[in-house]
Structure 1
Amino acid sequence: MTAVSMVLTLAVVVMWLGTSMPTLVALVVGIGIDGGWLATLAYERRLAAQGDHSTPVTAVGWFFGLIATAVLVGHALGEESPEAWLAVAWLPLAAKALWLVHGLWERTALTPGALASIHGIQQEARDEAAVARARLRAEATTEETRLTAVTAAGARVARVQARTAKSLSKAWSTLESTRAGEDTSRALTCVTSRVTPDVTPTWELPVWGPVELVSSLALEPGPALTDAELDRLVDDIRHSETPSLSYREMAVRFRAAGHSASEVRLRAAWKRVA
Structure 2
Amino acid sequence: MRAKTVLPAVAMTAVSMVLTLAVVMMWLGAAVPWPVALVVGLGIDGGWLATLAYERRLAAQGDHNRAVTAVGWSFGLLATGVLVAHALTAEDSRGAWLAVAWLPVAAKALWLVHGMWERTALTPAALDAIAGIQQEARDEAAVARARLRAEAVTEETRLTAVTAAGARVARVQARTAQTLAGAWSTLESARRGEETGRALTSVTARVTPGVTPRWELPVWGPTEPVPVLESGPALTDEALEALVEEIRDSRTPPLSYREMATRFRAGGHSASEVRLRAAWKRVAAS
Match of 2:22 in 1: 11
The aligned runs of 1:11-160 (5 Å cut-off) are 11-79=22-90, 83-160=95-172
Query: Which digits, 9 at most, give the CA deviation of each residue in 1:81-104, with x for residues without a partner?
Result: 755544433332232122112111
Task: Give the letter for the 2:153 counterpart.
Answer: T
The alpha-carbon distance between structure 1 residues 243 and 186, as it changes in their structure 2 partners (threshold 3 A), is: closer
Instruction: Give, in whole Å, the separation in 2 of the partners of 1:13 and 1:254.
Output: 139
The alpha-carbon distance between structure 1 residues 196 and 114, as it changes in their structure 2 partners (threshold 3 A), is: same
Task: Give the letter for the 2:184 counterpart.
Answer: W
The alpha-carbon distance between structure 1 residues 214 and 151, as it changes in their structure 2 partners (threshold 3 A), is: same
Match of 2:192 in 1: 180
Instruction: Give, in whole Å, the separation in 2 of the partners of 1:211 and 1:125.
Output: 67
Q: Indicate whether 1:251 and 2:267 are aligned.
A: no
Match of 1:262 in 2: 272
The alpha-carbon distance between structure 1 residues 159 and 55, as it changes in their structure 2 partners (threshold 3 A), is: same
User: Please, what TM-score do these two structures have when normalized by structure 1?
Assistant: 0.79
Match of 1:189 in 2: 201
* Contact 1:234 1:254 survives alignment (8 Å): no
Task: Give the letter for the 2:24 counterpart.
Answer: V
Task: Give the letter for the 1:186 counterpart.
Answer: R
The alpha-carbon distance between structure 1 residues 89 and 153, as it changes in their structure 2 partners (threshold 3 A), is: same
Aligned length: 270
* Contact 1:199 1:271 survives alignment (8 Å): no
Q: Secondary structure at the match of 1:57?
A: helix
Which runs of 5 or more residues in structure 1 are unaligned? none
Question: Which has the higher mean CA deviation after the structures are superposed, 194-203 or 26-35?
Answer: 194-203
CA drift at 1:234: 7.2
Instruction: Give, in whole Å, the separation in 2 of the partners of 1:22 and 1:126.
Output: 70
Instruction: Give, in whole Å, the separation in 2 of the partners of 1:257 and 1:34.
Output: 132
Q: Secondary structure at the match of 1:261?
A: coil
Query: Which digits, 9 at most, give the CA deviation of each residue in 1:32-75, with x for residues without a partner?
Result: 10121012112211221122222222122112112112222332
Match of 2:232 in 1: 223
Instruction: Give, in whole Å, the separation in 2 of the partners of 1:87 and 1:258.
Output: 125
The alpha-carbon distance between structure 1 residues 77 and 182, as it changes in their structure 2 partners (threshold 3 A), is: same
Query: How high is the sequence identity, in percent, across the aligned residues?
Result: 72
CA drift at 1:116: 0.9
